Amino acid sequence: MAADKTNLKKRGSTWHARYIVPHRMRERYGREEKCRSLRTASLAEANRLKRRVLIALEDEVLAECDMPSTNPADTEWVLDRLASLRESARAGEAERGGRK
């Protein structure tokens, strides 16, 4: 079986998690990728560690770009934000007398 090196980069003997910044965010973020050391020379260990680190890297990039997190732990914030936007839209409709 081939070794999985997806989202991994080796520098010297140490593996790093490699988060690829989405195209739509690259100009705002200023880079195409963000890496973090996994502090291991073992590919198997790197594969075990990378998921958690990739989630953290994604959250960091999103925060630096002023975009909401995609982390499921932050879904409550997103739902609160949607509720706030709905209330604002309803208030705007009420001010206009229900007309658009």
Note the pLDDT of residue 1.
Answer: 45
Model confidence, pTM = 0.64
Could you state, in order of their start, the residue ranges of all structural domains in the chain?
1-67, 70-100
∠ at Cα 14 (71, 23), nearest 5°?
A: 40
List CB contacts of 15: < 8 A, sequence separation 6 or more: 8, 9, 37, 38, 40, 41, 42, 43, 45, 46
61: which 2 tokens? 């990039």
At 68 the pLDDT is 65
In this prediction, residue 47 carries a pLDDT of: 95
> Could you list the pLDDT tens digit for every one of the 100 residues in the chain?
458 999 999 999 999 999 999 988 888 889 999 999 999 999 999 999 999 999 999 989 988 888 766 666 666 666 777 777 788 777 766 666 655 5
